[in-house]
């Protein structure tokens, strides 16, 4: 049975930074909620149909519900 590879220092650092980013989003420190709402309203107005915000942004899909 093959053993799982151990995480590299770069992998550990990536996930540490991702957790930091998640905290910024969770606490809305960078106004993600307001930006999401404004962009969603603009796109809905321009295209008159719902969209999946994930198709427009790189980020966390759990923060991107269908509008």
Q: According to the model, what pLDDT value does residue 67 have?
A: 47
Which residues contact residue 31 at a Cβ distance below 8 angstroms, ignoring those fewer than 6 apart?
none
Length, in residues, of the chain: 67
> pLDDT digits over 5-41, tens only?
788 999 999 999 999 999 999 999 999 999 888 988 8
pTM (2 d.p.)? 0.54
pLDDT at 20: 94
Q: Domain coordinates of the chain in residue numbers?
A: 28-67
Which pLDDT tens digit goes with each residue over 42-53?
A: 888 888 776 666
Rounded Cα gap, residues 18 and 4, in angstroms: 22
């Amino acid at each position: 049975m093959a053993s799982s590879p151990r995480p590299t220092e770069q992998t550990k650092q990536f996930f540490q930074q991702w957790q930091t980013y998640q905290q910024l989003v969770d606490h809305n420190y960078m106004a993600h909620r307001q930006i999401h709402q404004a962009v969603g309203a603009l796109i809905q107005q321009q295209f008159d149909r719902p969209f999946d915000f994930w198709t427009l942004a790189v980020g966390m899909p759990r923060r991107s519900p269908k509008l």
